Amino acid sequence: MKKIFTLFLISVSFLAQAQISSPKYSNEFLSIGIGARALAMSGTQTALTDDATAIYWNPAGLLNIKTKYQASLMHAEYFAGSAKFDFVGFSVDIDSASRLGVAVVRFGV
């Protein structure tokens, strides 16, 4: 009986440690990433932002965009199509020192 109780305590402690070591929060989908180039580079996009995905990665990078208008769309499906991840970003040039960017990120089940 003592052996079974000891094994039970050890297994419960391992399970508890596994739950504690992986943090979960309601906006976990925001860590998926946006854009084919950024995802291909494993998310190392913060220094190289020159398109509309800069709204997500590094908003200061919006000033690196060379065109007056820029739009970015992304759609991905996870878990055999039961979860859908969408991104829409738009950026417009206001003057030489400022840009306006608007983005929507959606993860729906």
pLDDT tens-place string over residues 33-69: 888 888 888 877 777 788 888 888 888 888 888 899 9
- Quote the pTM value: 0.69
pLDDT tens-place string over residues 72-82: 999 999 888 88
Report domain extents, the chain: 2-108
Which amino acid belongs to residue 98?
Answer: S
**Cα-based distances in Å from 10 to 1, 20, 22, 32, 79:** 14, 15, 19, 34, 33
Q: Is the pLDDT of residue 25 over 70?
A: no
